[in-house]
Chain A
C-alpha cells in the first residue's frame, strides 16, 4: 500500500517521531523537546518539521499513531478532573479500606496513595445486585439524581464514576443510573464500572473506574487539540491512540476509556521487541529497556509480548508491588526496576553497594553532568569504566565530566567500602546489572517462562551498556540491539494493530455449562470486543478474534489463562485444555477437583500493520566499512582490567560487518558494550546481533575480583594471580 504512516511518542524529555514510507520501505526518525504545558504542541510542531525535512505532502500521510504518558502523569500528579462517585449503599468506604493487606511486613511506616475520589465526594445509592446477576433492590434513581446534583453544585464535579457491586454480572443498575445522569447532567463525563472493566473484585474495578473518569475530561480535550492541529495541517488520514495492551484504539474509544492508555509507551517498546523477534525468528525474548531512572522488562513468548490484566499506578514506594492504585485493564506484563543511568549508588547497611531506586534524576543529575550533583550514579560508573565517551554523550551535544564522576565514586562508594576506584565503579555497574537480572528471574519464574532458552532485545539509553552483562548472568546466548533503538517506542506504534479486548467475569462450574451457554457467553463478549473495530470501518472478515478463559480448580486461589484453539471449541474439551496448560506451567499432576471458568476474554484485532522485517532507516547511514573510529581505555575485569578498546560508529557499520569484543559501538542515544568473548554482527536491517560465547561466565570476576583489593579488602593477605592493574595495549 502506498503512503506514509507516522508514529509519535511523547516521553518525559523528548517527543519521538517515526515516519514510515510504505512504498520505499524506509523509516525516518525525528526528535523534539516535549512541551509539558501543552504536549500537543510538540506533536504538531514536530510533525510539521519532519514532513518538511522529508519534503513530504500531508496528503500522503495515511495514518498517525499516537502514544502518550498524559494519563499516567495526570494520575501520578493528581491533575485530573474533580470526580464524584456513586457507589452501592453500604460500601462507600471500599476505596479507603483497600485490600486490607500490607505490601511490606517489615516496614511499619508504609503508606498508601490517597483514593482518587475523596470520601466526601462519594455518594451511596440504594440498590443491590446479587452475585448471580439477579436484582435484590432496584436503584433509587431520584435519590441518586439529587446526590449527583449536590456534587455538581457543591463540589463542582466534572466527572462521575458509577460503581455498583456485581455490575460485571448484570450492568442493568449501572446503566439505569447512567441514563439518568446523561439526561440530567449532560456536561458530566460518566464512566460505569462494567463498561470500564467487567471483572470481579470491587476495590480494583472501582479504582479503575475512578481513574478512568478522573482522566476522561482532560484526555478528551487533549485529543481534540491533536485532531484539530492535524486537521489544520490538512491531515485527512486516520488517527489512532496507543493502548497499554500492545494494540491501538480509535479516538472515540480512547476518549471513553482513557485508562487503557496508561503505560502505553513502554508497551509499544515491548511490542517492537516482539516484532524484531519475529523478523529474526526468535520467538522467545526478554525485552529490556533501561533509561535514566528506571529499567523496564517484558517477556515475549512465541512471538507475542505476555499480557496481564493488572497494573499499578502512583505507587508510594516506586518499586514495591501493592503500594499503588490497582488498574484492571489489558496490558503488556511489564517489570519495572529502579535502576537507570541516574540511579544513585551508595553503601547499604550490609556494607555492600546498593544502586537505586533513588535517582539523581535530570537535575542535578549524575555528578558527571556537572550540574551540581555530587552523588555517585550508574552513569558516573559507566563513564569511569570507559564505557561512555565524555565527548560523545547524546552525540556530543552534552559533555560529561570524568573527574567529577571519579570524585563522586571515590568519596561516596570506594572509600567507605575500602575499594579501589575502578573496582567500585565496576561494582556499581555489576550490581545494577544484577538487579535487572534478578527482576527478570523472579518475573519469569512467577510466569513459568524459561529465560535461559530465550534471547534479549535491548534498548533505551542505558540498556545497551548493560545488556550483554545481564544476558550472561541469565545464561541468555543472544542479544539484539535494534536499529534506531532511541525511538523504539515510536516505531513500535507503527507496528501495533487496531485492537480491542474485553474480559468478563462469569464464574461457572464447567460441569454446569452446556455448549449453547458457552457459545452464547462468548458471543456476548465477542460482540463487545468487535464493536469498536467495526465502528472504525473494518470489514468483519479482516478481524482476528482470540478467545481465552481464566480457569481454576474449585478452591484454588490462582486462575490460569488458557487460549481456545478454534472458534468451534466446546465445553467438552475444557478439562483437557486446562490440564495441558497446567502441566506446561507446573510439570505437576493435577487433581480431580471440579473445574471453574472464571473470566471470559475476547481480543479482536485488525491485521498487523505492515512495517515487517525489511526496511531501511533513512538519513543517518554512511555505509562505510567496519573500521573503528578510535580506541579508548575501558575496564574489563575478565581481561584483568584496563584494555585499549576499539570504538565503532554504529552508523558506519554495514550489513554483514562483524565486531569481536571487547569493543564499544556508539550511536547518538547509547553505547553497546561488547564484552570479551562476545561477537556482534550487523544484520540486513542494521540491527546488531550479539552472540555471547558459551562458557565465559559473567560473575567470575566477582569471585576473583577481591584480588585487586589485596591491600585494603577484608582478609587482604590472600595470594592473588597477576596484577589486575595492568593496562593491556592494542586490544584483541
Chain B
C-alpha cells in the first residue's frame, strides 16, 4: 500500500481541482491516442488498456478515465517491481522499461506494461505507464488451455525496450520470432512507446505552464483528498466483519472462493483465505488482479465518481494465501485469469450485502466469450471471438438490465458484422423470458443465440462458460437467475470444452439471467404487469413468483 502522506501542500480547492482535472485529461488524451493506434481489436472495441501517471516517488496521481476494472491500482506495484530491477538512480532519459510478466503486471501475459521515466533536468519528476492487451503472445493463444505458464507464450521479464532512446533490436527480434501476428504485436508495442513519449511531453509542458518544480505537492493534495473521500464513505458502512463464500465451476469440479471483510474506522480489509487451490488450467489469478478487482468493487460501493489514484486505494487492503486460486504463483497458467477473477466482484458484494444494502448488486449472469476458428466461405482464415452477455444483477430498487455484462465490460459484435466476418448465420438472438431472478427488483434477462455453420468448412469453438452449475444468486430475498448452457444441434455439450462444428451444425448459446434483489412479493404489481405485457415475465411466473394474477 502507499506510504504515509506528507502534510498538505499550499494549494486551495480551486487550484487543486483545475490541476487535478488537467492531469486526468493528460491520461485520457494518451488513452485516446493509444486506442486509435492499436491493432488489437480488444483494445479498440473494449478499452482493454489503461494509462497511469505516477509522481517521482512512484505514487499514482491519475489514470485514464475509461479503462477496465482490472487495471485498478496495478501500476504502482508494477513500477515498484521495475524500480527494484532498474533503480531510479540508474534510469536515464529515453529509457523505456517493459514487462508482460503476469505477477509484475496485470495477471496475464497478453497485457504489456510499458513504463517511461519523465526527466526534468537531472531528476525524475514522474513516470508514465501504459498497458495494452497485445494481439498475440505466442503459446497456445488466448484462452484457458495452458496447464502451466510455459504453455501460454512469451514471458518477458522486466527489461528495457529502449535504452537512452536507442531501441533494443534484439528484444524486438525475440518478440517478433515468438508471436503469431508479429507486425501487429510490434506495432502495438511501439504504439505504447509513442504514447508514453506523448505523456512525457505533456507532463513537462504541464509543469512549465503552471510553474511547478515537480508533482510532489499536487500529488499529495490529490491523494489526501481522495483518501479522505474514500474513508468518509467507508465510515458510512456498518462496521463489522463480513463473510461470503461462493462455489464456481472448475475444470475438475466445484471450487470455493471465500472472503472475510473487515470494515472499521474508514478502512476495509479483505482476506481471501478459504479459497480453493490453483488448477492446471489457465484460469488462475495472480494477486495483482485479485487486488485490482477488490479495489474496483469497493470503488463501486463508495466513490464511483472519484478519479482513480493512490489515495483512493490507500484505505483498502487485501490478502490471499499464496497458492490459492486468487493468489496464484508461477508456474500456474493465468491466460484466462478473468474467468475466475471476475468473481471477486460478486464475492465482495455478497459479503457486504448488510454493510451497504443500498449499494450492493445481486450476481450478474456475466459474459460468455467463445473463440471461433476456421475458414470463411470466401476461403480466408477466421480466428475471432464471439461475445454474448447474460443479465445484469439487480440492486435495491433498481432492476438489472437485460443482456448487460458485469463486472467486466465489452460490446457485442452486431449480427450483421459477425455474419460478414465469419460467413456463419445467426438464426436467432432472443431474450429468454423468466431467466432473470425474481425480486422486488428483477434480475436482467439472459438470451439465446443460435449460430449455424454456413461456411462450408468445419469450425472449432473454444468455450469457457461460467454460471452453468452455479447460477447468479439474488440478494435480500431476491431469486437466482437461470443457468448458462451450450448445445449443438439441440444436445447439451461441454460448456468449457473444445467443440467441432461441422458444416450445417447449429450451436445454441443459452445465456444466464441476473439475480434479483429483495422479496418478489414486494415488487410493485404495476411493474410485474408491464413485464408480462412485454413478455419478459410469463403469466405463469407472475403467478408463481410474484403471486399476481395477470
Closest residue of A by beta carbon distance from B233:
A349
Q: A418-B13, A706-B15 are in contact. Are A438 and B25 (CB under 8 A)?
A: yes
Chain B residues within an 8 Å CB radius of A353: 13-14, 17
Check B36–A558 contact: CB distance below 8 A: yes
Chain A residues within an 8 Å CB radius of B412: 97, 99-101
Chain A residues within an 8 Å CB radius of B317: none
Check B419–A588 contact: CB distance below 8 A: no
Chain A residues within an 8 Å CB radius of B410: 100-101
Q: A91-B429, A445-B29, A588-B194 are in contact. Are A507 and B420 (CB under 8 A)?
A: yes
Check A699–B18 contact: CB distance below 8 A: yes
CB A732 to nearest CB in B, in angstroms, measures 23
Residue A392 at the chain B interface, CB threshold 8 Å: no
Q: A93-B429, A353-B17 are in contact. Are A718 and B39 (CB under 8 A)?
A: no
Closest residue of A by beta carbon distance from B19:
A702
Chain B residues within an 8 Å CB radius of A282: none
Residue A703 at the chain B interface, CB threshold 8 Å: yes
Residue A630 at the chain B interface, CB threshold 8 Å: no
Residue B168 at the chain A interface, CB threshold 8 Å: no
Check A200–B10 contact: CB distance below 8 A: no
Q: A101-B405, A699-B209, A705-B14 are in contact. Are A201 and B414 (CB under 8 A)?
A: yes
Chain A residues within an 8 Å CB radius of B300: 106-108
A703, B12: Cα distance in complex, Å? 9
Of the candidate stretches B55-63, B97-105, B151-159, B387-395, the one touching chain A is B387-395
Chain A residues within an 8 Å CB radius of B429: 90-91, 93-94, 97
Partner of A108, one of B183, B307, B361: B361
Chain B residues within an 8 Å CB radius of A96: 402-403, 431
A441, B226: Cα distance in complex, Å? 25
Residue B171 at the chain A interface, CB threshold 8 Å: no
Residue A684 at the chain B interface, CB threshold 8 Å: no
Partner of B187, one of A98, A110, A446, A588: A588
Check B405–A703 contact: CB distance below 8 A: no
Residue A537 at the chain B interface, CB threshold 8 Å: no
Of the candidate stretches A78-86, A419-427, A492-500, A685-693, the one touching chain B is A419-427
Check B306–A448 contact: CB distance below 8 A: no
Considering the complex, which residues of chain B in the window 159-211 have a beta carbon less than 8 Å from any beta carbon of chain A? 183-184, 187, 190-191, 194, 209-211
Chain B residues within an 8 Å CB radius of A168: 416
Check B7–A100 contact: CB distance below 8 A: no
Check B10–A713 contact: CB distance below 8 A: yes
CB A103 to nearest CB in B, in angstroms, measures 9
Partner of A352, one of B68, B225, B359: B225
Check B15–A705 contact: CB distance below 8 A: yes
Residue A232 at the chain B interface, CB threshold 8 Å: no
Partner of A349, one of B25, B69, B305: B305
Check B41–A556 contact: CB distance below 8 A: yes
Chain B residues within an 8 Å CB radius of A279: none
Check A119–B405 contact: CB distance below 8 A: no
Residue B254 at the chain A interface, CB threshold 8 Å: no
Chain A residues within an 8 Å CB radius of B431: 93, 96-97
Interface size class on chain A is 35 or more
A136, B210: Cα distance in complex, Å? 65
Task: Mark contacts of A401-443 with chain B using CB atoms, 8 A cut-off: 1 yes-contact digit, 0 otherwise.
Answer: 0000000000000000111000110110011001100100110
Chain A residues within an 8 Å CB radius of B20: 350, 352
Residue A165 at the chain B interface, CB threshold 8 Å: yes
Closest residue of A by beta carbon distance from B16:
A352
Check B534–A419 contact: CB distance below 8 A: no
Chain A residues within an 8 Å CB radius of B9: 715
CB B221 to nearest CB in A, in angstroms, measures 8
Check B427–A352 contact: CB distance below 8 A: no
Task: Mark contacts of A40-57 with chain B using CB atoms, 8 A cut-off: 1 yes-contact digit, 0 otherwise.
Answer: 000000000000000000
Partner of B411, one of A99, A105, A699: A99
Check A349–B534 contact: CB distance below 8 A: no
Chain B residues within an 8 Å CB radius of A165: 415-416
Residue B44 at the chain A interface, CB threshold 8 Å: yes
Which 8 pairs from chain A and chain B are nearest by CB? A90-B428, A352-B17, A427-B14, A557-B44, A106-B304, A101-B411, A718-B10, A715-B10
Excluding A93-B430, A106-B300, A442-B29, 15 further A-B contacts by CB distance (< 8 Å) are A91-B429, A96-B402, A100-B404, A109-B398, A120-B533, A200-B414, A200-B420, A350-B17, A587-B194, A591-B39, A592-B183, A593-B183, A703-B19, A706-B11, A713-B12
Taking beta carbons and an 8 Å cutoff, which residues of A are in contact with B? 89-94, 96-102, 104-112, 118-120, 128, 130-131, 136, 165-166, 168, 200-203, 347-354, 417-419, 423-424, 426-427, 430-431, 434-435, 438, 441-442, 445-446, 448, 507, 553, 555-558, 585-589, 591-593, 697, 699-700, 702-703, 705-706, 709, 713-716, 718
- 12 A–B contact pairs at CB < 8 A? A90-B428, A100-B403, A101-B410, A101-B411, A108-B398, A200-B420, A442-B25, A507-B420, A557-B45, A700-B211, A706-B15, A714-B10
